[in-house]
């Protein structure tokens, strides 16, 4: 989990900051940090309740499906922009 979080956190920060205008970068920083904190706090509570009610296997299966939603949104909406920037020749 530590390695995954260590990779996702700076990547999400960079993506969020790159999507906003320079004068909105502070707001983007605050929003992404708040989202991470809320996700960790509320996720722990809700997943604890879910695991108690339906078991660990179903809880992990639910987590796997939930993570597919942002992945699909990224590939449908933003992936082409990142590929375009990556394929742009350096000057």
d(CA 82, CA 63): 26
Domain ranges in the chain? 2-87
Q: Which helix (H) or strand (E) holds 24?
A: none
CB distance 70 to 61 below 8 Å: no
Tell whether pTM > 0.85: no
- pLDDT, residue 13, reads 87
Answer whether 43's CB lies under 8 Å from 67's CB.
no
- Taking only the tens place, the pLDDT of each residue in 18-59 is 888 999 999 999 998 898 899 889 999 999 999 999 999 999
Residue with tokens 């949104």: 73
- The per-residue pLDDT for 21 is 92
Closest CA to 19 of 77, 88, 87, 91: 77
């Amino acid at each position: 989990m530590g390695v995954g979080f260590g990779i996702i956190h700076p990547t999400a920060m960079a993506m969020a900051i790159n999507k906003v205008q320079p004068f909105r970068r502070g707001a983007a920083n605050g929003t992404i940090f708040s989202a991470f904190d809320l996700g960790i706090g509320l996720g722990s509570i809700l997943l604890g309740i879910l695991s108690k009610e339906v078991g660990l296997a179903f809880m992990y299966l639910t987590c796997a499906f939930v993570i597919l939603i942002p992945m699909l949104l990224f590939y449908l909406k933003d992936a082409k922009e990142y590929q375009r920037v990556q394929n742009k020749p350096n000057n």
